[in-house]
Amino acid sequence: MNNYKINLEEKDIPKNYLNIMYYFQKYLGKLPDPPLHPGTKQPAGPADLAPIFPMELIKQEVSLDEFIPVPDEVHEIYKQYRPSPLYRAYNLEKFLGTPAKIYYKYEGNNATGSHKLNTALTQAYYNKQAGVKKIYTETGAGQWGSALSIACNHFGLECEVFMVKTSYENKPYRKVIMNMFGAKVHASPSTETEFGRKILAVEPDSTGSLGMAISEALECVVKSGGTAKYALGSVLNHVLLHQTIIGLEAKKQMEIAECYPDIVIGCCGGGSNFAGIVFPFLADKLSGKVKELEIIGVEPASCPSLTKGEYKYDFGDTAQMTPLLKMYTLGADFMPSPIHAGGLRYHGMAPLVSFIHHEGLMSARAYEQEEVFKVGVDFAKLEGVIPAPESTHAIKAAIDEALRCKETGEAKTILFNLSGHGFLDLKGYEDYLSGKLV
Amino acid sequence: MNNYKINLEEKDIPKNYLNIMYYFQKYLGKLPDPPLHPGTKQPAGPADLAPIFPMELIKQEVSLDEFIPVPDEVHEIYKQYRPSPLYRAYNLEKFLGTPAKIYYKYEGNNATGSHKLNTALTQAYYNKQAGVKKIYTETGAGQWGSALSIACNHFGLECEVFMVKTSYENKPYRKVIMNMFGAKVHASPSTETEFGRKILAVEPDSTGSLGMAISEALECVVKSGGTAKYALGSVLNHVLLHQTIIGLEAKKQMEIAECYPDIVIGCCGGGSNFAGIVFPFLADKLSGKVKELEIIGVEPASCPSLTKGEYKYDFGDTAQMTPLLKMYTLGADFMPSPIHAGGLRYHGMAPLVSFIHHEGLMSARAYEQEEVFKVGVDFAKLEGVIPAPESTHAIKAAIDEALRCKETGEAKTILFNLSGHGFLDLKGYEDYLSGKLV
């Protein structure tokens, strides 16, 4: 039997992120529709985004360069937790009795416990370079908020987080991490903003949504008079760009394993961990380096933007302050059920992911939370990692594909992104184990 | 700058545990005093221990062989999470401005989040081999209980855990992990046992202790009529033996770093993670391979067995059912304060660790919980790992030694064991951050 883990060395951490837009232009001959200014309905230019993002990140948002460098300072911090390991899921394969080979890239070995730190560091770095003093953000399950608080601490920035209220109450430990790294955290909707107070006036018991929390964070940025900026943990092009470090490392590791995936799978909330594992392989497909590649995005049935949403321009937030984004969306006022235990609660899907779905370059599917938590427990028992509820969606799809291989006898190679661990999501597991999940 | 992480490959996982008893006999010419039968006060023989442990583990308890093989089946499971990484704490060194080199071995990358799984697997394996159906145990903070539940699940054994009540209430997530892996968990003192009911009759609000929980587990084993055995997560020789895999790996990693530690540090509860990192280096000192080696054990000021206990024969449990062990002890009825947030709450210290302390081969110190939680937060910010409160004791000592080097100008090499992560101890951190720790 070969190795369970395929490790790279620190010198193998990629020096550049991979920009999928380059491949869209060069090989598809087209690009996703641009963001529109909500007032004029004209393409939003750098000037429209400058109040909320530093210029370097805005440039990355629209860049058509193939590679964009990882800043040296960020590369140095990456060494604390990257390269992340690639695992061969031998025990899972054996349990399923499948001829398929299952690999997973594990992003949980850092103080956030998820992939979110990859982009948080880069965003904090460019904000620091631009003289920004403070970053406002929103967070759902709390992975993004804790990642940004860690990144801001590294670069000496203040950080203030609006956390979706249902998570704030049910995932208190993630709030502790944010506090530990010096961030302020509010349950959203909050009384800190006009928008929050307006929501609470109408619905005092609102459990919150990512759309609302984004609106609150943006309102604070606008009112800061230029000293503060905003950071988003998913959805936007530059965020997905930074996550490609996952797939770039995974490609090197698959080379060591002398394998190339037939199927690449990621769970989809805003789209960043999915894009992170998928885009470097998609680039090979677009450029003709590989002929066959199946790409699968997996989302929760309770927030099914890719499988039930509409591909159209929509706002990124509930208060309709953001530019209009062309994406699969359930509507900016969509409220996921508060009983939904996992993350992946955003009403829309990253424009880049929406684009490849619309172009027929990937398929999407949705699972109920009961079935993914079951898979999470099975996976923990077999592979010795307690997965984040988000990541269990990807595991479930990998298992279904491996079982399909068992039927057909095909020895396909399946790769998925295990985007984080579930140590801070054990309340969800407890509810599942005690039959309280609906 | 060199690498932050020094990884080994799976083929480097040691095939044997290292038995420090061999070195005591060969190089010191003496052995620790043996356990005594509580009735006869004569040395307890295998027959005395056979009702609670399988014979293979009893043999390991008294073996004088230098090496004891890691069972193949256990070695295979080790590959899921071992070898564990060795880190150079560059950022901590820089922050302290010390000429010292600080290395730490990190045991947190598994589903328990601590070193406890190393011995849990071996113990479950030998119980399975002996035809045992069920294992009873106790757990304090819950790391041991979750480790044993994972190990029992691997080998198809039932597992039932008595968890110290204050931890049961304050660390609910560890209970979820035990349930996830199929174990039953009771808050101890419980109504499940005569001993528990007796305690509750006198003191209904008892917050519990490890000594009490051990008594409850032992009572269940005795009543099982031979189908169930008992397992302990620390203290006994065979448990410490299994943990030497930590130090054996660390030695190989220090070789790669072309360094040998001047100082080796571990935190001390029952003694297992301390022994795990220390014994393989102590063996070098005993055999004369190295001349100078400072060994430091660190315990909480609220449970100071090494620094304030007496070296004498004492019971391992409150109900006085165990053999008498020669150890530094605060008394089998010692009750650590329930406000103590970390683990390391056992009234005694492993006989092997007590022996080397008594022989003057190590030094011991105790820290208050306020100061170790502060160090935990600093360490998380600098090194990107949130440490378990237990492990912060070792970090604090490493920092103090590094600062001493700063004063003297000595460039010593310091190695400590970061025995686990703190994701499931964030309540303690929250109390610290909000000034609620006493």
**What pLDDT, in 10s, does the model give residues B384-416?**
999 999 999 999 999 999 999 999 999 999 999
**Is A1 a residue whose pLDDT tops 90?**
no
Give the residues across from B342 on adjacent strands.
Answer: none
CB contact residues (below 8 A), chain B span 146-185, against chain A = 150, 153, 172-173, 176-177, 179-181
Q: How far apart are CA A59 and CA A73, in angstroms?
A: 19
Which among B179, B380, B427 is the nearest to A180, CB-wise?
B380
pLDDT band at A339 (very low <50, low <70, confident <90, very high): low
Which domains does chain A possess?
5-14+81-114+241-433 (3.40.50.1100), 52-68+115-237 (3.40.50.1100)
Does the distance separating the beta carbons of A10 and B5 come in below 8 Å? Answer: yes
**Is A438 a residue whose pLDDT tops 70?**
no
Chain B closest-CA separation from residue A256 CA (Å): 14
**Is B338 a residue whose pLDDT tops 80?**
no
Helical H runs in B81-188? Answer: 90-96, 117-129, 143-155, 165-170, 172-180
With beta carbons less than 8 A apart as the criterion, state whether A210 and A347 touch.
yes
**What pLDDT, in 10s, does the model give residues B272-320?**
999 999 999 999 999 999 999 999 999 999 999 999 999 999 999 888 9
The token duo for B67 is 């090496």
Residue A433 main-chain phi, psi, to 5 deg: -65, -30
How much of chain A exceeds pLDDT 70, in percent? Answer: 98
How much of chain A exceeds pLDDT 90, in percent? Answer: 90
Which among A4, A9, A177 is the nearest to B79, CB-wise?
A4
Q: Helix axis angle, B194-202 relative to B210-223, nearest 10°? A: 140
pLDDT band at B340 (very low <50, low <70, confident <90, very high): low
Give the pLDDT of residue B438: 67
Give the pLDDT of residue A341: 64
Q: How far apart are CA A261 and CA B271, in angstroms?
A: 46
With beta carbons less than 8 A apart as the criterion, state whether A297 and A268 touch.
yes
Give the pLDDT of residue B341: 60
Give the pLDDT of residue B337: 76
Task: Give the mean model confidence (pLDDT) for residues A352-373.
Answer: 97
Q: Starting at the edge strand that comes first in sequence, how are the strands of the sheet with A294-300 ordered? A: A5-6, A86-88, A101-106, A413-418, A263-267, A294-300, A363-367
Q: How far apart are CA A285 and CA B148, in angstroms?
A: 46
- Write down the number of H helices and E strands in chain B: 18, 15
Specify the amino acid at residue A307.
T
Chain B closest-CA separation from residue A82 CA (Å): 9
With beta carbons less than 8 A apart as the criterion, state whether B36 and B324 touch.
yes
Instruction: Quote ipTM for the complex.
Output: 0.95
**Is A297 a residue whose pLDDT tops 80?**
yes
Instruction: Name the helix (H) or strand (E) containing A187.
Output: strand A184-188
**How buried is residue B184: exposed, middle or buried, by Cβ count under 10 Å (0-12/13-18/19+)?**
middle
Tokens 């490849």 locate to A356
More confident of the two residues B162 and A45: B162
Give the pLDDT of residue B326: 98
pLDDT band at B342 (very low <50, low <70, confident <90, very high): low
Q: How far apart are CA B250 and CA B413, in angstroms?
A: 13
Which among B80, B181, B427 is the nearest to A383, CB-wise?
B80
**Is B328 a residue whose pLDDT tops 60?**
yes
Q: How far apart are CA A372 and CA B349, in angstroms?
A: 43
Give the pLDDT of residue B436: 87
**Is B344 a residue whose pLDDT tops 90?**
no
The token duo for B90 is 């560059």
With beta carbons less than 8 A apart as the criterion, state whether B123 and B151 touch.
yes
Q: How far apart are CA A196 and CA A183, in angstroms?
A: 19
**What pLDDT, in 10s, does the model give residues A145-195?**
999 999 999 999 999 999 999 889 888 899 999 999 999 999 999 999 999
Q: Whose CA is closest to A32, among A297, A231, A235, A264?
A: A235
Chain B residues within 8 A of A385 when measuring between CB atoms: 111
**Is B343 a residue whose pLDDT tops 80?**
no
Cα radius of gyration (chain B) = 20
Q: Mean of the per-residue pLDDT values for chain B?
A: 95
Give residue A428's Cα distance to chain centre: 19
Chain B closest-CA separation from residue A176 CA (Å): 6
Instruction: Name the helix (H) or strand (E) containing B312.
Output: strand B310-315
- Pick the residue of A423, A427, A434, A436 with the most B CBs within 10 A to test the interface with B by mutation: A423
**Is B234 a residue whose pLDDT tops 60?**
yes
pLDDT band at B1 (very low <50, low <70, confident <90, very high): low
Q: How many CA atoms lie within 13 A of A3 on its CB side?
A: 21
Q: Mean of the per-residue pLDDT values for chain A?
A: 95
**What pLDDT, in 10s, does the model give residues A421-432?**
999 999 899 999
Chain A residues within 8 A of B5 when measuring between CB atoms: 10, 79
Chain A residues within 8 A of B421 when measuring between CB atoms: 423
Q: How far apart are CA B276 and CA B84, in angstroms?
A: 13
Task: Give the mean model confidence (pLDDT) for residues B341-360.
Answer: 90
- Pick the residue of B379, B423, B434 with the most A CBs within 10 A to test the interface with A by mutation: B423
Give the pLDDT of residue A167: 87
Does the distance separating the beta carbons of B113 and A180 come in below 8 Å? Answer: no
Tokens 């304060």 locate to B337
**Is B240 a residue whose pLDDT tops 90?**
yes
Give residue A313's Cα distance to chain centre: 21
Q: How far apart are CA B247 and CA B419, in angstroms?
A: 12
The answer to whether B16 contacts chain A (CB < 8 Å) is no
The answer to whether A113 contacts chain B (CB < 8 Å) is yes
Q: How far apart are CA A359 and CA B106, in angstroms?
A: 45
Chain B residues within 8 A of A387 when measuring between CB atoms: none
With beta carbons less than 8 A apart as the criterion, state whether A194 and A245 touch.
no
Give the pLDDT of residue A34: 96
Task: Give the mean model confidence (pLDDT) for residues A290-295.
Answer: 97
Name residues whose C-beta falls within 8 Å of residue B381's C-beta, 6 or more positions apart in sequence.
Answer: A153, A181
Name residues whose C-beta falls within 8 Å of residue B225's C-beta, 6 or more positions apart in sequence.
Answer: none
Give the pLDDT of residue A171: 80
pLDDT band at B333 (very low <50, low <70, confident <90, very high): confident
The answer to whether B224 contacts chain A (CB < 8 Å) is no
Tokens 């299952």 locate to A102
Does the distance separating the beta carbons of B424 and A423 come in below 8 Å? Answer: yes
Residue A161 main-chain phi, psi, to 5 deg: -125, 130
